[in-house]
A = this chain, B = another copy of it.
Amino acid sequence: MSAAPPGPDDFRAAGHELVEWVARYMEDVERFPVQSPVAPGWVRAQLPPHAPEQPEPWDAIVADLDRVVLPAVTHWQSPMFFGYFPANASGPSILGDLVSSGLGVQGMLWATGPACTEIETHVLDWLVELLGLPEHFRGHGVIQDSASSANLCAVLAARDRRTATVALDRLRAYTSTQAHSSIEKAIRVAGLRRDQLRTIDVDDTYALRADALRDAVERDVAGGLVPFLAVATAGTTSSLAFDPVDAIADVCDAHDMWLHVDAALAGAAAIAPELRALVNGGIDRVDSWCFDPHKWLLTNFDCDVLYLADPSALVDSLSVVPEYLRNQASESGAVIDYRDWQVPLGRRFRALKLWFVLRRYGAEGLREHIRRDVRAARWLAARVDGDDRFARLAPADLSLVCFAHRDGDDATERLHRRINESGRALVTHTRLGDRYAIRVAVGATSTEQHHVEALWHLVDELA
């Protein structure tokens, strides 16, 4: 067998076969147990101990997708997947990724990929309009791999705006007890200690209490410390709570603090004008704001969008220009080099998938996706509310329903386990207050009303 590299014809043949494979997966995904039933070690036990010396035929590779991979996949794309967050793969997005992989372009500099850079800026400007974001976000958007990375960028920009004059260990950041774990992780990555992040109490809707924030900030200032950052969440992970951004901005203004908003899941909902009051409150006053099209805007992972009121602080933090990256376009000042807007140097042409999604669905198609999910989640919340066995534990204004069994944590946990072990649906959990809560996150690409109804029947049957 020749060791000659597989060329375009090999790609063509296998490519058509794998497009069919993926299409069949989309059609069949509902039939698999949503949570993979395999035990730790099962996958590795199926694989040979050594890499092959000689090329293997595609048939063997594709056969292993069915034999080894599918049984060991937790099916995030199942319409019965209600865990964690919806992970919105879609045909147009998958194909945008295909073209990105095929072009194999590096977008670290404008010069290394003009289309990669300019389509990104342009499509993110489209989103400014579609989501009702502030005009000063135009030209100031950048795609990150995830909200974790966007949150880290905000921490770094906010930190370095202060460290010229303030010692690192005097800085203090603030977020709610409900903020995503990536905030704490970003703080630690950035060289701050865990205790330099103050976690502020929430009210009974799990939204940050602005009065508690003000007290904490003032206490720290009085103690000679320097508040430099508040991270608000528009749609928390546990319960989709919305922090009062406007009131938080008042505190930030008074103390020259950076205000970042993590709208990872909920941000996409702003595409529906009737949901903007909930999602975008106070957004005119924030320094940075991010959301994940890969969570709820029909774009597959990885695609987070970060906007900055003024990107210069971030660029100041992250710009390092070695000789081998110098070029005329960069030095002209007429272009964006996105390398300076992210932690890694290299970058994929991720804007392609967002461009494909916006064009193939159109804004109306995306709005319908959001509205369908919100309708279905509210329907489910009403069923929970009308059933004596259950207590809803948080507002369900958008797409997440959190509830518990009234018989207590053991009953809720047992119900949770039974749902997942049935293989017919997947839900995950959190703690709200002191209670174990089942989280139902509606919004997978293929989830329709009848799937949510099927989940409810399952809950009813297993409770």
Contacts and interface: CB of A to CB of B under 8 A. Distances in A.
Q: Report copies per complex.
A: 2
Interface in A1-44: 3-12, 14-16, 18-27, 35-36, 38, 40-44
A180 B364 CA distance: 46
Interface in A349-399: 352, 356, 358-365, 368-369
A301 B205 CA distance: 43
11 contacts: A11-B19, A11-B26, A40-B110, A55-B362, A84-B324, A87-B106, A89-B103, A101-B300, A149-B344, A181-B320, A301-B346
A321 B184 CA distance: 10
Contacts of A25: 102-103
Contacts of A112: 74, 76, 83-84
A332 interface: yes
Contact of A111 (B74, B99, B101, B322): B74
Interface residues of A, number: 151
Contacts of A70: 115
A12 B6 contact: no
Contacts of A87: 104-106
B360 A43 contact: no
A345 B146 contact: yes
A297 to B, nearest CB: 12
Contacts of A363: 51-53
A188 interface: yes
A119 interface: yes
Given A27-B8, A113-B74, A323 B3 contact: no
Nearest to A326: B429
A16 to B, nearest CB: 6
Given A74-B112, A97-B101, A106-B84, A359 B56 contact: yes
Nearest to A119: B43
A61 interface: yes
Contacts of A84: 106, 112, 324
B302 A73 contact: no
Given A19-B19, A185-B318, A191 B159 contact: yes
B185 A8 contact: no
B19 A15 contact: yes
A142 to B, nearest CB: 15
Majority-rule SS of A interface residues: helix
Contacts of A168: 168-169, 191
Most buried by B among A72, A77, A123, A430: A72
Given A26-B11, A89-B104, A113 B73 contact: yes
Given A72-B114, A72-B115, A112-B84, A98 B22 contact: yes
A152 interface: yes
A411 interface: no
A275 interface: no
Given A23-B8, A42-B114, A362 B54 contact: yes
Contact of A298 (B5, B41, B61, B91): B5
Contact of A325 (B56, B69, B145, B181): B181
B324 A439 contact: yes
Nearest to A127: B51
Given A8-B27, A14-B92, 15 more contacts: A5-B445, A14-B95, A21-B99, A43-B118, A47-B119, A51-B127, A55-B359, A72-B115, A72-B118, A74-B105, A84-B112, A98-B98, A101-B300, A148-B344, A190-B190
A45 to B, nearest CB: 9
B89 A94 contact: no
